[in-house]
Structure 1
């Protein structure tokens, strides 16, 4: 664990993505034909931040199983603060079945390992978080959350409690929407938008976040718009907003500046898993240093905002050059080198 107090708290799921053979169902494929990868957006962001050099803590819940032990070892080796990690003695760590078509495109299509009580991440416990919150948040600037914990009663309660405490303590809330229908209903169409019940549960997060990152289709589902400035103006706190769109330009409204930028081409494309999480980590890594004291607005020039987004885009591009979401995450020297190569 890093000796420095965490600057960012990442709360949410840590899980295994079980990638099926191309064009085949991971639920029926032989284990040796599948590729299990540690993942989960908040865990991915925590690992990427640690590699970039930002002190970070992960808050989540894993099973007392091989997956849980592997995560603990990996997060510890990265230097992630694990005081907020809970171990569930009854529920297993979650395995997500990921079906890939012949081109490698992914669909989340269910889970494996449930023994009848659900998964450990669904049981994130508010009571277990309360005693250590003050220590974790003492010097933190940001709390990063997503919407997946809202799909289960216990984890939703823990998430909303943490958001309220962060707001009270002056931490800024970063929300990566990360809509995944399968986590709300395993039988749902993987391409479906959020139903009314999910939208109602998301609303308090949208109304408290100081920064919202979402994909273009998520922006359309939630706001009927993909214009970051229009989205920001629709919320009373007028948050910073970034909208990504796969290989199309990323758009933003940050520190009252609007802009857009073409995505950066990776050195090679091996796997796009975790590129968005690396982007989020690169963004927060830059913003931590720029975040003013409690109660002060984020005042940045348009040029600085563009530099921040470009750094984040470089982090995302570099992850595509390796397999999985975590292993290829770049060191800061590699990000700088990559950006210098693009400029030369």
Structure 2
């Protein structure tokens, strides 16, 4: 089973003829990862604290409707986090968050994850906002020590990071406990403090040296890159699709990567062959292409994905 840990929130997304209205969409990076993996047929659970307000009830119902195990979901009376989304000219999403006193940041340590947990994914605001960030960090380290395949997608929200240098130090401290690190090109540039793609690749290789067996770098329409600690460097192009918005694209990649790895019983990513890497990246890229063809974060089911082949 895959466990995805982190925030669940409501995105307020531009709607209406001129984009002058805001429509609520259920989301949050780790929440979307859980949806994506479950819809692709992988046994998946979600670890978070979710509000008992109307938004929280809707978030839990959507998880259950997608086949996500909610036994690790904690509930509380605090409000649901809100994210106001704006779309750039290229339909890329940018976010403003409202997080004061919200439920997801008050998650408590569940202890060792259930028997049968084979993969854990954490990231986004869950690894930023305290006290929850320290909880997820503890879970990450403990599960890595227990032999679970651990994955991190920082999904950097720079406006929410008060001290970038301290965050970068903390990010580096996670790497010895991470098997799969997935980052967007923009996030990699921010984390490494560079702008040139060659420098980003050098930074990715330094992250491999610190612990992960694989780094996946997403580059939007330009495709996806996978670097492994065994020296492989594989790129697949992005799938051609008409983009509605990019909300949930990276989360879908992460969910699809984990679904493929668990389905194929991969525990050591450094042992993947070049053909394996290409198949893995193609699967994740195709899943993300379906998501960006829709409004809001709506990852595909396995049946929908197969119809796109």
Provide the aligned length of Structure 1 versus Structure 2.
303
Structure 2 residue 255 is the aligned partner of structure 1 residue 281: yes
**Structure 2, gaps ≥5 residues long:** none
Corresponding residue SS for 2:226:
strand
Offset of 1:291 from its aligned partner? 3.5
1:129-174 CA-to-partner distances (Å, cap 9, x unmatched) read 12xx34x2x1121110114223222101211111122012110111
Structure 2 residue 304 is the aligned partner of structure 1 residue 334: yes
The equivalent residue for 2:24 is: 36
Alignment of 1:1-344 (within 5 A): 7-20=1-14, 33-89=21-77, 91-101=78-88, 104-111=91-98, 118-126=101-109, 129-130=110-111, 133-134=112-113, 136=114, 138-185=115-162, 195-223=164-192, 224=194, 225-227=199-201, 230-232=204-206, 235-254=209-228, 256=230, 257-266=232-241, 268-292=242-266, 298-326=270-298, 329-339=299-309
What is the rounded CA distance, in whole Å, between the counterparts of 2:34 and 2:207 in structure 1?
30
Judged with a 3 Å threshold, the aligned counterparts in structure 2 of structure 1 residues 22 and 195 are, in CA distance, closer, same or farther, namely: farther
TM-score normalised by structure 1 residue count = 0.80
1:62-116 CA-to-partner distances (Å, cap 9, x unmatched) read 1110011001111111111111111112x201011123356544321242xx6xx
Indicate the structure whose relative CO is greater, using CA pairs within 8 Å and at least 6 residues apart.
2
**Structure 1, gaps ≥5 residues long:** 1-6, 186-193, 340-344
Corresponding residue SS for 1:175:
strand
TM-score normalised by structure 2 residue count = 0.89
- RMSD between superposed Cα atoms in Å: 2.5
Higher CA-based Rg: 1
